[in-house]
Structure 1
Amino acid sequence: MTTTRAQVAGTDDIVGLLREQHSRIRDLFDLVLSSSGDARRDAFQDLVRLLAVHETAEEEIVHPVARRRLPGGEGIVADRLAEERAAKELLAELDGMDTGDPAFPEKLDRLRIDVLTHARAEERYEFERLGDEFDAAQRRAMATALQAAESTAPTHPRPGTESATKNMLVGPAAAIADRVRDMIRKSRSDG
């Protein structure tokens, strides 16, 4: 059940779109933790994909704007990027694990706490201020740019690429490799 653009297109405002994605991320964590077997594996793959795509797009679109336009933006973004890198490292570790591994739930819960804490900080210190700083047309344009960035983002975590420049250099090739890897995984699990 991969999140698609249509599932989060209820808003064309960047702040609403990002909040909706955060809500979907919370729901997926709950689903992964409450599932087992193939259902857990599939829900986790959806979570990995959404987190990877979401964070990449934020790093390409949201954080550069926040850094430039928000009072104290440099510090706000530096804190969020440090959180994102730590979460990507743990997500990459989990992405290589079998979801049936006895250590998986504990590590996933640690990631859940880190990601949800990060999301609350983004919403409070970054998204609210973006909503105040930009008018409706600007927020719509940013939402369109975010969705475009998501369409070419890697579907697996890439720790160390927490900048717009690095994401744009590495992202397209990594996205192709990730999507091929995802198709192979899916064909193996279906067959």
Structure 2
Amino acid sequence: MAATKAAAAKKTSSSSKSKTAAAKPRSKAARKTARAAAKPADAIKLLKDDHREVKAWFKEYEKLEDDAEKQALADKICLALTVHTQIEEEIFYPAARDEIDDDDLLDEAEVEHASAKQLIAEIQGMKVGDRLFDAKVTVLGEYVDHHVEEEESEMFPESRDSDLDLKALGIQLAERKAELMAAAGA
């Protein structure tokens, strides 16, 4: 009887361990995103951190020569930008539009996103070695540099000076980012 209870306890313990293990994010990026969601930053810090990360990846891409590494990094860049633009469009831009008086700036940001999404779709439909693949990744990096400069020098300061609750927005952005990354298997 005691052996049966011990076996049942062990089985319960191992099944709860496997549930815990299954609940943990699989990849390094998913674990990092989960930690960020657990420790929310304000919205602007979260978005700036995304900007810095992807800009570093573009610089890294320029130095790569191995096709497999280039493909993996291009895929990583495209996923990160897809998620980033989605959380901005779903959460940050509508909140900013309600609080800052600069519709032109927000309209331009949305058009820049559309251009970036078009290039991302083209890159995702190609592979390293295809004609114009490297050029498209380079141009995407240039678009991102321009977009980031405008957001960080104009939109973010206007947002900080507004009545936006940047902590609450940061929580929403981090949660949505974690959802999208998990859905993408990252």
Does TM, scored on the shorter chain, surpass 0.5?
Answer: yes
Question: Aligned ranges for residues 37-186 of structure 1 at < 5 Å?
Answer: 37-72=67-102, 74-134=103-163, 138-153=165-180, 176=183, 179=184
- Identity among equivalent positions (%) equals 25
Superposed CA RMSD in Å reads: 2.4
Change (3 A) 1:7 1:39: farther
Q: What is residue 29 of structure 1 aligned with on the other side?
A: 58
Q: Is the 8 A contact 1:28 1:47 kept in 2?
A: yes
Q: Which amino acid aligns with 2:166?
A: R
Q: Which has the larger radius of gyration?
A: 2
- Unpaired segments of 5 or more residues in structure 1? 156-174, 184-191
Q: Any stretches of 5+ residues in structure 2 without a counterpart?
A: 1-27
Judge conservation of contact 1:67–1:76 (CA < 8 Å) in 2.
no
Q: Which has the higher contact order (CA 8 A, sep 6+)?
A: 2
Cα displacement (A) at 1:6 = 5.2
- TM-score, with structure 2 as normaliser: 0.74
Kindly provide the amino acid, as one letter, of the partner of residue 37 in structure 1. D
Paired positions, count: 156
3-state DSSP of counterpart to 2:129:
coil
Deviation at 1:2?
A: 3.8
Farther-moved stretch of structure 1 (93-102 vs 17-26)? 93-102
Query: In 1, distance between residues paired with 2:128 and 2:35?
Result: 26
Contact preservation (8 Å) 1:15, 1:128: no
CA displacement 1:14-45 (0-9 Å, x = unmatched): 11111111000101111222212211111111
Consecutive aligned runs of 4 or more in structure 1 exceeding 4 Å deviation: 6-11
Opposite residue 150 of structure 1, the aligned amino acid is K
